Amino acid sequence: MAYGVKLAPKPITPGLSIKDLVDNHFYSYNAGRLREACQLFARKIAQPDVTIGVTLSGALTPTGLGTAAIVPLIKAGLVDWVVSTGANLYHDMHRSLGFELFGGSPFTDDVALRDQNIIRIYDILFDQKVLLESDDFLRRCIAEPEFQKPMSTAELHYRLGRYTQAREKAIGTDYVSVLTAAYEAGVPLYTSSPGDSTIGMNVAAMALAGNKLRFDVEADVNETTSIVYNAKKHGGKSAVIILGGGSPKNFILQTEPQLQEIMGIAEKGHDYFVQFTDARPDTGGLSGATPSEAMTWGKVDPEQLPDSIVCYVDSTVVLPVLTGYVLESTGNRPLKRLYDQREAMLKELADDYAAVRDQA
């Protein structure tokens, strides 16, 4: 009787590819879940009819994983929209401006670092001037006339992406930030808590000085919901790849309850759910909530629970492996350029919501 996939271990040899390593040597426990997640992404999620949303939480970009992993996935058409903490997008700008971050030890004298104006993110170190000069760059951008209005965080980040692209070209760096790659590929970047980051802090300070930029959080909710609705209404599927948890996780998942519970539009939930987290479910927090719990809220299609995977592994371990596996296994997909379709998708959602209200 076959109970599952036969475990047939073989000796690891030199020159093994990432795909072979994952397929043939990630046997069980969380290695097994990572294998399943990689295979699900490559075999089902990477199909042209699937709209792929990715969340970023935790300090991923300071490590370099923005340009090393997220950017190649964006360029390959394997990320269609993103919900990120503002911190990940802010810290990703440092290298775009020519600044350096260094790997060090987490076991250090933080008082001594403070005296030397050195900032520490666990084992990543950089000079405080990196923050101050990044803030100056950001303020000079949002002082421009095109920023003098309320806008969704997707529009803010898209406009900032044009400036990071220009700066990267001007200084001749090979570094490509998530902001730049998303701008070039038309991938909308949302921040679920825009005030909770240095970008938001600078926007707030500039507002006191008379700047007209404001975060349109209602637009964020409606635009993200329209992305999922557009995918599902036209015969496609929706996938969410969650790196970490926190506010970005809820924001990407709440698109389905927004349709079903709030707007009264018939829907079943996201089709594919993959999460990489170190959060436990028994503490009751959203970060550790399982796909089956999300299903009770309408966030996940109950018929698709077999295609829902939680892998309890640090995202900094997972992301290089997942990226390497998927890029090795699949070809590029055509870019969906969802940013360019925001107005049309939003109108479609508004029209169908009006029809539901008229029938009530």
- What's the average model confidence in pLDDT over 310-332? 95
222-239 residue pLDDT tens: 999 999 999 999 999 999
Beta strands in the chain (DSSP E): 50-56, 81-84, 102-103, 118-121, 124-127, 150-151, 189-190, 214-215, 237-243, 272-276, 308-311
Which residue would you say has higher pLDDT here, 110 or 301? 110
* 237: containing domain: 18-359
Angle between helices 246-253 and 217-233 (to 10 degrees): 50
Cα separations in angstroms, 228 against 54, 146, 234, 236, 248 = 13, 28, 10, 9, 15
Catalytic residue from among 212, 299, 336, 347: 299
Q: Please state the pTM of the whole predicted model.
A: 0.94
Residue 2 lies inside a defined structural domain of this protein = no
DSSP code, position 270: B
C-alpha span between 214 and 20 (Å, rounded): 48
Domain of residue 198, CATH code? 3.40.910.10
Q: 305 pLDDT exceeds 80?
A: no
Q: What are phi and psi of 243, to 5 degrees?
A: -100, 105
Residue 4 lies in a domain: no
Inside any domain, residue 271: yes
Output the average pLDDT for the chain: 93
Is position 41 within any domain? yes
Determine, yes or no, domain membership for 23. yes
**Residue 154 resides in a domain:** yes
In a domain, 46, yes or no: yes
Query: What CA–CA distance (Å, rounded) separates 199 from 86?
Result: 6
Judge whether 149 counts as a catalytic residue. Answer: no
Q: Indicate whether 342 belongs to any domain.
A: yes
pLDDT in tens, 135-181: 999 999 999 999 999 999 999 999 999 999 999 999 999 999 999 99
Into how many domains does the chain fold?
1
